[in-house]
Amino acid sequence: MKRPNSILIGFAAFGLLTLTAMTGRADDTSASTNAITAPSLSPYQPFTIGVEAGTTGAGGAANWRFSNHFGVGGGFDYFRYSYSGTIEDINFDARLRLMSEPATLDLYPWKRSSFHISVGALFNQNHLTGTANGTITINGTTYNNTTATLDIKQQVVDPYVGIGGNLYFDRGHHVSLGGELGVAYTGDPRVSFNMPAATPQDQQYEQNKIHSYARDVQFWPVIKVSLNYSF
């Protein structure tokens, strides 16, 4: 399996940063228009629900802005994928499951803007399993007609920080396109590599290699786009 494409993630992050930076200006412009046409209109709607997709999978989210500057949010994201690929020189038939539930406290620096800073936790059930069959070489030793299994899990509760905001399609701040950019620290991965035909030393050697590979995503990038309704 190839490592994450940092260039592609960089472009996506830049695009969402631009989207998020625009929210403050878009909200202020809408609010100015509302001040002329409907002085009593609230600068924001307190409840928001939506569907989303991104680097944690696809799912839904809900937010409650209970005051001018604070709110809370939660959601659920899921994605499943099967593929064949090489992980540390062994060709695995792998199955990846992304499943997580974010819970955040949201800070809104400006009353009339949907831009917010989120801190909280990502409840993480991401899971990668794999099976390899046939000829496998570990640390210079070749094993024929053998089977190896792989299991990788991340830390269950991950600290999370991010920024986000919405671009509204109407003056009443009901329908919007949302963007979110953040990072979750997934901790030290739990890795299990089992190959009965191999010596204990070779098994440990390969498990250490895969553990080092899995540590490359200790900081999991969170990039999301959502379609929302506020009320």
pLDDT tens for each residue of 5-39: 444 455 445 455 445 444 544 454 444 444 444 45
Distance (Å, rounded) from C-alpha 2 to C-alpha 206? 17
**With b meaning 16 or more CB within 10 Å and e meaning fewer, what string describes 155-192?**
beebebebbbbbbbeeeebeebbbbbbbbbebeebebe
Pairwise CA distance, residues 148 & 123, whole Å: 29
Query: Which ranges in 41-144 belong to alpha helices (H)?
Result: none
Q: What is the pLDDT of residue 27?
A: 53
Q: Using an 8 Å Cβ cutoff, are 151 and 132 in contact?
A: no
pLDDT > 90 in the chain, percent = 81
pTM, whole model, 2 decimals?
Answer: 0.81
Smallest CA-to-CA distance from 125 within 161, 162, 152, 159 is with 152
Domain ranges (residues) in the chain: 6-230
Tens-digit pLDDT profile for residues 62-113? 999 999 999 999 999 999 999 999 999 999 999 999 999 999 999 999 999 9
Region 165-192: mean pLDDT is 96
CA distances from 38 to 4, 20, 111, 172, 212 (A): 48, 26, 17, 10, 58
Q: What integer pLDDT is reported at residue 36 of this predicted model?
A: 42
From the candidate CATH numbers 2.40.160.170, 2.60.120.460, 2.40.50.140, 3.90.600.10, the one assigned to the domain spanning 6-230: 2.40.160.170
Backbone angles phi, psi at 6, to 5 degrees: -65, -30
